[in-house]
Chain A
Amino acid sequence: MIGGLFIYNHKGEVLISRVYRDDIGRNAVDAFRVNVIHARQQVRSPVTNIARTSFFHVKRSNIWLAAVTKQNVNAAMVFEFLYKMCDVMTAYFGKISEENIKNNFVLIYELLDEILDFGYPQNSETGALKTFITQQGIKSQTKEEQSQITSQVTGQIGWRREGIKYRRNELFLDVLESVNLLMSPQGQVLSAHVSGRVVMKSYLSGMPECKFGMNDKIVIEKQGKGTADETGKSGKQSIAIDDCTFHQCVRLSKFDSERSISFIPPDGEFELMRYRTTKDIILPFRVIPLVREVGRTKLEVKVVIKSNFKPSLLAQKIEVRIPTPLNTSGVQVICMKGKAKYKASENAIVWKIKRMAGMKESQISAEIELLPTNDKKKWARPPISMNFEVPFAPSGLKVQSRVDVRGTHPMPWREEDEKGTGAADTVSSPSGWSESCTEKPGGDIGRCHLGRQDDRRGWPGGHEHT
């Protein structure tokens, strides 16, 4: 298992060092610094073996987190743990930076003592940790409180504590989708897939039993006629989800047998699920780049974007980033719509359009002047990227959700409950979709990339339960 955990700053100075196993010596700290942080070459692997000692590292801004071991550990687990460690630290003191780590080193040691025992990861849910690792000492706790803490930390629902109360029960749901598109030089789509995330912010009292539904093909088929009439409304009733993964609060065996997503959510923000689809993706925009090299010191770029959805719908906050070569000396931009600016610090032309209706097109042209350079290093030609919000999901996903606060009898799907015995809420089609699209200049091959932007719509006013 994990033998030790070190945190370094960008210079390779140790900020935190915690050794869990006897086989890891102090020299391991230096070995990583010398061989990885100070290595001349760019890092070629996240796992490094130095003198029969394996180092796993992740980087957050300019901070290095390294886990060390001499055994055949579960490598996936070590990385998952390192990410979790970052999440926990972020939840406690915000951004992971040298300053924050130094300011909180006692807390970090305390956390490391708790979430990793002899190299075995233990409960690392912030919700639970925050009940007893507070930096305030725990003298004042009563015996009941103590046993409540321990039962929560070790319990089945380790991610949520008992007795949470809110005056207003609220639940926010964001669906964030990124479209990844690969296009041939002829404009033919080679491959496209959507990877989506459902992020939930729950502010609910007690131990709420939640159910989450989506217009997944298999579910719709299982439910049979019950929903047939209703799904007939939109053009695309159900979507085929290739695969999805869930937060640990979701009962997986139930999903496996019944395709129903039921869970007791952690308090606050968490990622409920991720999913992937490849079929019938609606691409909201087409980006057509044209690049012409005029001599060795000039580049002409023209980018056309076409919106590819119903004219009645509106896309908002469109932002197109066109990367420019590193030796750019000046840029002149002309665009018909929106505002465009060359940002030298980011090596890109940023073009912003507030809103754009469906089935429209707009274009930008730019003249890029280049400094003559004898630098042999090739320009990597990063893809053009695009961010926007549209009121539909490219994957076609729709969400239904319901919440039962413990003690109420379950209610059927999509039924508003007004008697106050339980709280049920349904929502279909949340409005906040965002996705992004990128394409390479030069037009030989286009590639769309993920990028994301939040937009949310909550539905406040879940009913209070007595």
Chain B
Amino acid sequence: MTDSKYFTTTKKGEIFELKAELNSDKKEKKKEAVKKVIASMTVGKDVSALFPDVVNCMQTDNLELKKLVYLYLMNYAKSQPDMAIMAVNTFVKDCEDPNPLIRALAVRTMGCIRVDKITEYLCEPLRKCLKDEDPYVRKTAAVCVAKLHDINAQLVEDQGFLDTLKDLISDSNPMVVANAVAALSEIAESHPSSNLLDLNPQSINKLLTALNECTEWGQIFILDCLANYMPKDDREAQSICERVTPRLSHANSAVVLSAVKVLMKFMEMLSKDLDYYGTLLKKLAPPLVTLLSAEPELQYVALRNINLIVQKRPEILKHEMKVFFVKYNDPIYVKLEKLDIMIRLASQANIAQVLAELKEYATEVDVDFVRKAVRAIGRCAIKVEQSAERCVSTLLDLIQTKVNYVVQEAIVVIKDIFRKYPNKYESVIATLCENLDSLDEPEARAAMIWIVGEYAERIDNADELLESFLEGFHDESTQVQLQLLTAIVKLFLKKPTETQELVQQVLSLATQDSDNPDLRDRGYIYWRLLSTDPVAAKEVVLAEKPLISEETDLIEPTLLDELICYIGTLASVYHKPPSAFVEGSRGVLHKGLPPRTGSIEGPESPDTAPSGEPAADQPSVIPTQGDLLGDLLNLDLGPPVTGPPMATSTVPMGAVDLLGGGLDSLIGGSGSFTAAPSSTAPTNVGAPLGSGLGDLFDLTAGVGTLSGSYVAPKTVWLPAMKAKGLEISGTFSRQVGSISMDLVLTNKALQVMSDFAIQFNRNSFGLAPAAPLQVHAPLAPNQSVEISLPLNTVGSVMKMDPLNNLQVAVKNNIDVFYFSTLYPLHILFVEDGKMERQMFLATWKDIPNENETQFQIKDCSLNAGGDGHSSTALGSCASA
């Protein structure tokens, strides 16, 4: 008998016919009809009209028919809630059936019917099934609790199912344990605060015992749950590791990866001096390599995870380079991932082999792969200094092939090589220039233009070359336009006599004929710089560039630590935290590696990262090629600019990173800040701070600004460690009669912050915010925002000790944080300084005598004291 015929019935009046068949007396005919219904349902036809007729077939002792009807019910009950009630009786009855398979089937199906009224009836049968004598029923009921929780969490709590579920963790049957663990883990995920999975050494022991006995899937549930446990000390961590390591030999790759996750996590707690630590490291390599002989899809998952593991603990796989060599028949996604890992593992010891391979890959067929291989050669050059020369000559060979995309890719990476090894390989420029005409991709064009601009003094016809690009200026992408602008300015500064015309042309193109605010702004900056102070312009534009760092594309360390906790899961495949792709509350909970508890490291100092690794060890992250813009900006405007002191304290992550972000938000240009060089309120520039642009604006604007009163450099008031990732630094300033608190809020957490508010405690001078704290857009991770909060002195007064102590509370969507700071008294002083004589005397008299102390100042030079610049304390001080 074949069932495929059910797929082919598409004639008219079909529903009607089916109805008749469903109501037929003959069992066989009924069954046939239900099959047809299911087939129609599968291909997407609406057969909900048959609901009552199908449900009528439910009461049967034919299990196959029953299963089909149940399947139908699961699909359509939601759309026909009233009629679904008809099915309840049968379900309840089936839950009492002598056959455990039928009992389980009933409870399994009932949980899938998301109709409130049915859910109520489900409770009693479920309670019985959770205590059923048959393990098959119990394991099904355990999952059913999770289903019910998904429909109505409150009901599950009220009915006490959670406790029953917890009891099942001690069940004698390993599969029941595994399903209970899975259900509890899922429920716990939506209640991050609850202590549902109350993991303690006893329950862990039970889980570890069940681990040896349950199915492969059960082992995965248990291992994934174990990974959430935090052992109390290194000895416990070691004993768990010892019991988990045998899983590394399991044929199921998911079991292996989950075991690796547990080991990688608990390893954090083990002291590096321990013999066991070394043993464990050695044990991890072979199973990871073995994963590469699995099916390609699994290889892909494994490689994405190995990529993380190699970044976290490079020592594990450092000798295994060869296994990542690409095979002819690997699917493209496996090839690309292997290439990534090869570069991460490249070192002086194996570079010759790697290069030989990469050169081979560069002649393959797949364009993406070839491009990546060429890029990889460039990265090798940057990573392994000894190989740079060979890499460059390999790249030159590749340029000779004249394959268009190879040439372009090679030029992009050669630009990076120049930045890493300046004044070493410039002899190749001539070869590069030969290929100028074949470049049609923005990135390659931009790179080439950068090279021409940077080495303009060595290229005789640099002006001609750049001019040729200028012809189609408006057709170029922004990236190329920006680069061209910068390159011509560089050229001008190097050869001012011949290129005046060119520079004027580009400046007018950029500032007058362009709609792009970035381009315009950059154009104006250069223009103003060049017209006000060419020497300064030279210092800024031709400043010595910092060398680019060795490692590119590294994942930011806190994210990496989080991803290590998600080994094997989708998060590790995407290299993104779950909150980036999971909706709702699930998975938003942050995971972190346990702190190392070994004796070597002392108490955690606030500076060290949570992983316990010294911050200095962490390689700085530089943006990928895609962030060329950010890179370029930094190149031109970055380091040597000595902006006002505010900038120095507000660059926590290294200029490059911030710049990338800064530029993004500039492009976003939502108007949430004004980067206009307003000369009246320089401190109000709300641009993403630390951005070179902001600095420059300040620089240019600074000339025309009233110097105002002294502004202390910003200091960190609230370290990120104490405020769940929010760092606040700031200072106080006084400008034209108004006091303001200049704050920089930096988000160092991984989630977006919003809903900021600020409050002051009562203080000696009644300082209070004059306006609410305005943070316009939510603060994305790693972003900062600068805010100037106007203050007044009309708040309530309470004497503080010391007098100028200010207690502040800051609130955001995460929590409320408190800190206190001292404000300089001079911000309370009015500028004019003059006070009417009578008023002064009256005020003086108001101050009680006990507040008056007298002492003599000896040897004071006269001009320091009261030569006309008498300041008067304003506000409540006098009347205090």
A interface residues with partner B (beta carbon < 8 Å): 1, 13-17, 19-23, 26, 29, 42-47, 49, 52, 54, 56-58, 69-77, 79-83, 99, 102-106, 109-110, 113, 117-118, 120-125, 132, 135, 137-139, 141, 143, 146-147, 149-151, 153-156, 158, 180, 182, 184, 190-191, 193, 195, 242-248, 250-253, 255-256, 271, 273-274, 276, 377-380, 382-383, 438, 440, 444-445, 447, 449
Contact = CB atoms under 8 A, between A and B. Distances in A.
B300 A47 contact: yes
B38 interface: yes
A43 to B, nearest CB: 8
B54 to A, nearest CB: 14
Interface stretch (B136-144, B679-687, B827-835): B136-144
A76 B568 contact: yes
Contacts of B300: 45-47
Contact of A22 (B114, B302, B325): B114
Contact of B583 (A52, A151, A379): A52
Nearest to A245: B251
A46 B333 contact: yes
B42 interface: yes
Contact of A79 (B224, B295, B586): B295
A124 B218 CA distance: 11
Contact of A245 (B71, B215, B256, B329): B256
Given A76-B258, A105-B39, 20 more contacts: A22-B114, A58-B295, A75-B301, A77-B217, A80-B216, A102-B2, A105-B4, A118-B112, A118-B144, A122-B179, A123-B217, A147-B100, A147-B134, A158-B175, A191-B325, A245-B251, A248-B216, A252-B247, A380-B364, A382-B329
Interface in B32-80: 35, 38-39, 42-44, 61-64, 67-68, 70-71, 75
Given A156-B174, A195-B293, A245-B251, A1 B186 contact: yes
Nearest to B135: A154
A276 B298 CA distance: 17
Contact of A103 (B4, B104, B325): B4
Interface string B549-567: 0000000000000000010
B44 A118 contact: no
Contacts of B214: 156
B566 A56 contact: no
A182 B325 contact: yes
28 contacts: A1-B186, A17-B42, A19-B75, A23-B583, A44-B332, A46-B300, A54-B581, A56-B297, A70-B583, A72-B571, A72-B582, A72-B586, A80-B298, A105-B6, A106-B38, A106-B68, A117-B179, A121-B217, A124-B215, A124-B217, A137-B63, A138-B63, A138-B101, A141-B99, A153-B136, A154-B139, A246-B251, A256-B246
A276 B254 contact: no
B215 A158 contact: yes
B588 to A, nearest CB: 10
Nearest to B297: A46
Interface string B567-608: 011111110001001110011000000000000000000000
A248 B252 contact: yes
Contact of A150 (B100, B290, B587): B100
A58 B297 contact: yes
A120 B179 contact: yes
Interface string B247-280: 1011111101110000000000000000000000
Contact of B574 (A49, A150, A244, A246): A49
A383 B101 contact: no
A141 B97 CA distance: 14
B176 A76 contact: no
A45 to B, nearest CB: 5
A195 to B, nearest CB: 5
Sorted nearest first, the 10 A-B pairs with minimum C-beta distance are: A243-B286, A102-B4, A150-B136, A76-B254, A256-B246, A77-B254, A72-B578, A252-B246, A46-B297, A121-B217
A118 B68 contact: no
Nearest to B144: A118
Given A74-B224, A274-B290, A105 B38 contact: yes
A449 B38 contact: no
A286 B617 CA distance: 48
A13 B4 CA distance: 14
A123 B175 contact: yes
A113 B487 CA distance: 65
A54 to B, nearest CB: 6
B447 interface: no
A140 B7 CA distance: 31
A23 B581 CA distance: 14
B538 to A, nearest CB: 47
A190 B101 contact: no
Contact of A449 (B254, B293, B328): B328
B548 to A, nearest CB: 29
Nearest to A80: B254
B246 A253 contact: yes
Given A120-B182, A274-B293, A150 B252 contact: no
Contacts of A26: 44
B414 interface: no
Contacts of A72: 566, 569-571, 578, 581-582, 586-587
B327 A70 contact: no
Contacts of B246: 252-253, 255-256
Interface residues of B, number: 111
Nearest to A115: B217
A150 B286 CA distance: 37
B101 A132 contact: yes
A46 to B, nearest CB: 4
A253 B43 CA distance: 47
Nearest to A134: B64
B286 A242 contact: yes
A103 B2 contact: yes
B287 interface: yes
Given A76-B253, A121-B217, A15 B290 contact: no
B146 interface: yes
Contact of B108 (A102, A113, A191): A113
Contacts of B566: 72
Nearest to A141: B99
A80 B570 contact: no
Nearest to B334: A46
Contact of A74 (B3, B135, B569): B569
B245 interface: yes
Given A44-B332, A246-B249, A75 B572 contact: yes
B311 interface: no
Interface in B283-318: 286-287, 289-290, 293, 295-298, 300-302
B360 interface: yes
A16 B42 contact: yes
Contacts of A22: 114, 150
B111 interface: yes
B217 A120 contact: yes
Contacts of B176: 154
A47 B573 contact: yes
A187 B506 CA distance: 57
A445 B150 CA distance: 57
A104 B3 contact: yes
Given A52-B583, A72-B582, A256-B245, A449 B251 contact: no
B353 interface: yes
A16 B570 CA distance: 24
Contacts of A438: 328
A274 B582 contact: no
A139 B61 contact: yes
Contacts of A58: 295, 297
Nearest to A244: B249
Contacts of A99: 4
Nearest to B140: A117
Contacts of B296: 46
Nearest to B322: A191
A276 B329 CA distance: 19
B173 interface: yes
